[in-house]
Amino acid sequence: MKPIHDEKKMRDIAVECQEFEHIINAMGYGYSLLNVSPDDFVQRCSDCVNWLGGDCDIFQREINGK
């Protein structure tokens, strides 16, 4: 089982990531008040289409310092 990653680390990486695409946007729903609350919307790696259960190459490079 893969370790659970730090929430702050996932947020910090996602905010800087040029490849980040939120799963809501990728599903074609777009961002709206119906599916994303502006009060608690947070960009984090685990909400990205590239996340793949933590196997994202960009995420792995960042946490491994490569």
Position 25 scores a pLDDT of: 75
Query: pLDDT-derived band of residue 66, with 50, 70 and 90 as boundaries?
Result: low
Q: What does the pLDDT look like over 2-57, one tens digit per residue?
A: 556 888 999 999 999 999 988 877 776 655 555 566 566 788 999 899 999 889 99
d(CA 62, CA 34): 33
Query: pLDDT-derived band of residue 1, with 50, 70 and 90 as boundaries?
Result: very low
CA proximity to 31, closest of 23, 11, 14, 39: 23
